[in-house]
Structure 1
Amino acid sequence: MGRRNVSMMRLGRCVAFLAAAAFLLPFTILLMVADQQYNLTYNSKRVFYQESNFYKINGSYYMPAYAGTSLSRTQYMYENGTNDDGLLTRDKFMEVNARMEARRRFLRSECSRLGLDSSRNKAYAWEYLINRQYHVIWCNIFKAASTSWMYNFNLMANYTAAFLDKTKEVPLGLARKKYARPSAEMVKKAQVDSISFLIVRHPLERLASAYNDKIAHAWPKSFHDKMGYRIIQKYRKKKSPDAPHSPHPMFEEFVSYVLDEARAKRTLDMHWTPYTDFCTPCKFDFDVVLKFETLDEDQRYLIQLARLQDVVKPEWRNSGKGKTQQSINHLYSRLRRQQLVGLYNLYKYDFQLFNYTIDSYFEIVQPDDPSHG
């Protein structure tokens, strides 16, 4: 009887092992296949970079990136690591991915160092857009490729390109008809299976762009045109013999207004509010940080990462009013050193979290006026 019991026990264990193996084998095979298909792990999420469809795209959907340059199509693709369809090559994709990882690590490190990830700080999700169909989350920072990506998010909301190109409606208004303003909890929940991103640029370039677009070229009788009139009334020294005759505020007048508004703790216009306050990036775990300075590559990377290539295209909209660095330097050459210090203090966290520097601007501005202490 003892030998028979031992044999039965061994048989039972074999049956149990075979049953478990039969149950687990399909899942094991699926995991092996998944590991072969998805060869990039990003923040413990499986992302959408597949060898099988890396080159699969409707090439005619892309605006030629080399347009407006002196390079031929072949030269541009060679120098910028793109293929015939405008996609990044595998090597370029992995190069940009490493850059994104470095930015992400730097952001988390600075958030911790500055204490901005503390539970005492509130998370603001007012300007976030969540697209559940394509699993993409974006915090809209105005004057940082916001026009281009608002257009893209409207395409992802199933507006047609033909409609968007002819409509008179404001793109943000169209978007908010499809994307309700979320709570911070909604954003964090959606981040579990989505790619979240934001686009940043040098804070002083963004401010100059906002001034040029919204103040210097304000539509007559618009909100910003009326704001400009109030700025002139308060900050222009009319009795001075060298007083400007410009119908819109000069840059130094505009900066004085912005700094006074900040000192009075009044809500700043969304086009020049520090994006650290706007998006509270230390309270959300962003997957991708795009920078205006490398936007062409960064956009292509994001589009491929999220597999959006059949829906949107990497393009620059509203770039006609963009200032060259020479023009931006000219604007800042009108400021006093004290004003520049004030701007740095206003945008300090934007500088620190995203690794921007202000040093070169101190070489441009004028010294402080001794008559003003």
Structure 2
Amino acid sequence: MQPPDRVMNLRQVFVSVLIFGVAGLLLFMYLQAWIEEQHTGTDFILSPPGMTRRAAWNSSAPPGLSKHKMAASGGRHWRGKADPFGVVAASLVSQLSDQQKMSESPLSHFRGVYLPPALHPLNKTLVKGGKWKDVDSAQEKRRSFLHDFCKKYNSRKKLRTHLMHLVSRIYVEDRHKVLYCEVPKAGCSNWKRVLMVLNGLATSAHNISHDDVHYGKHLRRLDSYDLKGIYTRLNTYTKTIFVRDPMERLVSAFRDKFEHPNSYYHPVFGKAIIKKYRHNANEESLKTGSGVKFKEFIQYLLDSHRPVGMDIHWEQVSKLCYPCLISYDFIGKFETLEEDANYFLQLVGAPAELKFPKFKDRHSSDERTSAEVVRQYLKELSKEERQLTYDFYYLDYLMFNYTSPIV
């Protein structure tokens, strides 16, 4: 028979191992969720069981924003203050030694980066003539609207991401000190042509091919600079973003990538979409990935277990350019693209002869994606699918004050 003291020691060891095992499991689960969040970008609020995403978002709408204007974005959601895994993990991580913390990667210091919005006045000393009055007035309203929203939104949540990821979609033009965040299907091809001309890489935007724009690697991105270079440019350059009505941008991306021959999107996305969402698909469709229907594309978009990942052409602007983390000085819209772009070129002192190109980059014979074209595509969806698609892009609708579609 074992002595009582030894039995007691064994029990204490067992209990200690059990406690550390449970704590380790909770820490692992929490860190796994945290790591996933780094790859999915910014997400916002958890819907309580039985509550729709829209109702959940409404219940915590930032002050000053009407509840009927708020809804949850798609994807993984923020767990809020009541996360038990977070409490345990935070307690355990706080016990790391100083030496362990010092040995972390330098980039780890930019997790939890918080860049509060600052509405700086635009430098309009280079603007000539009085014809820009209406454009300037619209610009100030857009800036103020986004700033007011972000000020309230940022008081509730700090983004957890790396600085390098935050600026990975931003292109740099050093001569005129311009930072441009690329939003595909919102005039980005012509904008990159303009940046190449501003940088002295071409004499005319009309002479630059589509392949040179997208595959030539003539322009540098902000994440290619060192940390000092990134911060210097963020603080001193004129930062611009051009956006588009989310539904129009989505339909435009679908038409471009799936209704025309494409050696990348058909075999990579098309095959996976047809295989998962088309019943009784024929061999030819499964082999080529061509002929994806809009309804199938939307099923893929809304699927939390997509057979293939997201793509920048239909990713939300809130996850491409982080408008509430990076204070954009100029907010252009595709709907007023030409006048907004030409006004911006005056603001940064571009050559007088440089005008924003009017031509359609590809498929020039196709009708442009308009509100009427979008309505025709949305007819292919059920009411629930239309609502969920709207919810998926709701933050983009809200940030840039777009009118919600009739779903």
Sort the Cα spacing of 1:310 and 1:355 in 2 relative to 1 into closer, same or farther, 3 A.
same
Structure 2 Cα separation of the partners of residues 352 and 185 of structure 1: 33
- Quick check: which has more Rg, 1 or 2? 1
Q: Select between 271-280 and 148-157 the one with higher mean Cα deviation.
A: 148-157
Which residue of the partner structure matches residue 49 of structure 1?
126
Structure-to-structure mapping, 1:13-28, within 5 angstroms: none
Q: Is the 8 A contact 1:128 1:182 kept in 2?
A: no
- Percent of pairs with identical residues: 23
Uncovered stretches (5+) of structure 1, i.e. residues with no partner? 1-41, 55-88, 240-245, 363-373
Which residue of the partner structure matches residue 187 of structure 2?
145
Structure-to-structure mapping, 1:150-165, within 5 angstroms: 150-161=192-203, 165=207
Structure 2 Cα separation of the partners of residues 214 and 167 of structure 1: 18
Q: Does 1:343 align with 2:386?
A: no
Q: Is the 8 A contact 1:196 1:288 kept in 2?
A: yes
Structure 2 Cα separation of the partners of residues 114 and 163 of structure 1: 39
1:97-151 C-alpha deviation (Å, 9 max, x unpaired): 1111110110011112333884344451001012111111100011110111011
Which residue of the partner structure matches residue 278 of structure 2?
236
Which residue of the partner structure matches residue 306 of structure 1?
348
Structure 2 Cα separation of the partners of residues 197 and 284 of structure 1: 10
Which residue of the partner structure matches residue 372 of structure 2?
326
Sort the Cα spacing of 1:120 and 1:168 in 2 relative to 1 into closer, same or farther, 3 A.
closer
Counterpart of 1:108, as a letter, is H
Q: Secondary structure at the match of 1:356?
A: coil
The correspondence for 2:242, drawn from 190, 199, 211, is 199
Q: Does 1:108 align with 2:147?
A: yes
Sort the Cα spacing of 1:298 and 1:350 in 2 relative to 1 into closer, same or farther, 3 A.
same
Q: Is the 8 A contact 1:274 1:350 kept in 2?
A: yes
The correspondence for 2:253, drawn from 192, 210, 213, is 210
Q: Does 1:99 align with 2:130?
A: no
Which residue of the partner structure matches residue 250 of structure 1?
293
Shift of 1:306: 1.2
Q: Is the 8 A contact 2:171 2:219 kept in 1?
A: no
Q: Is the 8 A contact 1:156 1:311 kept in 2?
A: no
The correspondence for 1:127, drawn from 146, 160, 169, is 169
How many residues are matched?
Answer: 276
Which residue of the partner structure matches residue 293 of structure 1?
335
Q: Secondary structure at the match of 1:282?
A: coil
Sort the Cα spacing of 1:185 and 1:249 in 2 relative to 1 into closer, same or farther, 3 A.
farther
Structure 2 Cα separation of the partners of residues 354 and 247 of structure 1: 34
Q: Is the 8 A contact 2:193 2:208 kept in 1?
A: no
Sort the Cα spacing of 1:186 and 1:311 in 2 relative to 1 into closer, same or farther, 3 A.
farther
TM, length-normalised to structure 1: 0.66
What value does the CA root-mean-square deviation take over the aligned residues? 3.1
Shift of 1:163: 9.6
Structure 1 Cα separation of the partners of residues 208 and 180 of structure 2: 25
Sort the Cα spacing of 1:347 and 1:188 in 2 relative to 1 into closer, same or farther, 3 A.
farther
Structure 1 Cα separation of the partners of residues 405 and 174 of structure 2: 42
Shift of 1:300: 1.6
Structure 1 Cα separation of the partners of residues 392 and 228 of structure 2: 28
Shift of 1:212: 0.3
Structure 2 Cα separation of the partners of residues 115 and 300 of structure 1: 32
Structure 2 Cα separation of the partners of residues 154 and 192 of structure 1: 22
Counterpart of 1:209, as a letter, is S
Structure 2 Cα separation of the partners of residues 178 and 335 of structure 1: 40
Structure 1 Cα separation of the partners of residues 316 and 355 of structure 2: 28
Uncovered stretches (5+) of structure 2, i.e. residues with no partner? 1-118, 282-288
Structure 2 Cα separation of the partners of residues 168 and 271 of structure 1: 16
Sort the Cα spacing of 1:114 and 1:331 in 2 relative to 1 into closer, same or farther, 3 A.
same
Structure 2 Cα separation of the partners of residues 258 and 248 of structure 1: 17
Q: Select between 306-315 and 166-175 the one with higher mean Cα deviation.
A: 166-175
Sort the Cα spacing of 1:186 and 1:329 in 2 relative to 1 into closer, same or farther, 3 A.
farther
Structure 2 Cα separation of the partners of residues 251 and 47 of structure 1: 44
Sort the Cα spacing of 1:222 and 1:46 in 2 relative to 1 into closer, same or farther, 3 A.
closer
Counterpart of 1:93, as a letter, is W
Sort the Cα spacing of 1:271 and 1:359 in 2 relative to 1 into closer, same or farther, 3 A.
closer
Structure 2 Cα separation of the partners of residues 185 and 256 of structure 1: 43
Which residue of the partner structure matches residue 357 of structure 2?
315
Q: Secondary structure at the match of 1:196?
A: strand
Q: Secondary structure at the match of 2:179?
A: strand
Sort the Cα spacing of 1:358 and 1:177 in 2 relative to 1 into closer, same or farther, 3 A.
closer
Counterpart of 1:158, as a letter, is G
Sort the Cα spacing of 1:145 and 1:338 in 2 relative to 1 into closer, same or farther, 3 A.
same
Counterpart of 1:49, as a letter, is L
Q: Secondary structure at the match of 1:198?
A: strand
Shift of 1:338: 1.3
